[in-house]
Amino acid sequence: ETLIEIREMWKIYQINQLQVQALKNINLSIKKNEFVAIVGPSGSGKSTLMNMLGCLDTPTSGTYILDNEEVSNLSDDKLAEIRSKKIGFIFQSFNLIQKLTALENVELPLIYTGVKASERIRRAKLALEDVGLGQRLYHKPNELSGGQQQRVAIARALINNPPIIFADEPTGNLDSKSGVEIMNLLKELHKKGNTIVLITHDNDIANQAERVIRISDGTIVEDRQVI
């Protein structure tokens, strides 16, 4: 079952007279329950591709079908709606709200989708228990280690059961031990049936996925299964 289908996608940024071809004719399909890493050096087009895949921006040309829906030409509002329903985001910088507790951070996506308070709390507690933070429900982000903050962010990304999880350099701000823990958690989520797309510049991180797509100068130069 195909979740992501990209055909002949171009993204061209125009800065005054200068054109930057950030993505050049990308063709890509990702199936349900794959664990894919997109790897490439700085400036290769990873963030641009992530922004397209994550419905944060639209391509200059080409098509993007996400979970059987064409999303290449939608308005910003419609894209926001697709993101909240279909995608769980994990960022390098965690992007937690500092004033809120771990539990409240994880509840946030459920507030946007109109789940009532008692149900939100029940589900957010379970999600935090699932990532090993059942004893940290009422801690604020600055009272947690980096690895723990990333686990809160993962619980938040999973709370709506989105069909796809995007992780953008999820270990980039972590020490190596916490980085290993977060990668192990992503592998566990993959085993449980989640579809994960990981974006990284780090080959050792990428090789922990089951499929590695290498991007260079806006083109896919390698697409292989990791054995």
Q: Which long-range contacts (CB under 8 A, 24 or more apart) does 18-23 make?
A: 21/218, 22/48, 22/218, 23/48, 23/49, 23/52, 23/59, 23/218
CB of 87 to ligand ADP, least distance (A): 9
For residue 13, report the phi and psi dihedrals to the nearest 5 degrees: -95, 140
3-class DSSP assignment, residue 28: strand
Rank residues 25 and 33 by Cβ distance to ligand ADP and give the closer one: 25
Nearest to 194 by CA among 180, 210, 205: 210
Q: Does 216 bind ligand ADP (CB under 6 A)?
A: no
Binding residues among 90-109 for ligand ADP as defined by CB under 6 A? 91-93, 95
Q: Does 142 bind ligand ADP (CB under 6 A)?
A: no
Centroid of chain to Cα 48 = 13
Q: Which residues of 180-202 are buried (b: 16+ CB within 10 A; e: fewer)?
A: ebbbebbeebbeeebbbbbbbee
x/- letters, 159..198, toward ligand ADP (CB under 6 A) = ---------xx-----------------------------
Q: Does 9 bind ligand ADP (CB under 6 A)?
A: no
Number of residues that bind ligand ADP (CB under 6 A): 20
Binding residues among 74-93 for ligand ADP as defined by CB under 6 A? 91-93
Binding residues among 17-76 for ligand ADP as defined by CB under 6 A? 20, 22, 40, 42-48, 51, 56
* Tokens representing residue 119 in the block: 């149900």
Q: Which residues bind ligand ADP (CB under 6 A)?
A: 13, 15, 20, 22, 40, 42-48, 51, 56, 91-93, 95, 168-169
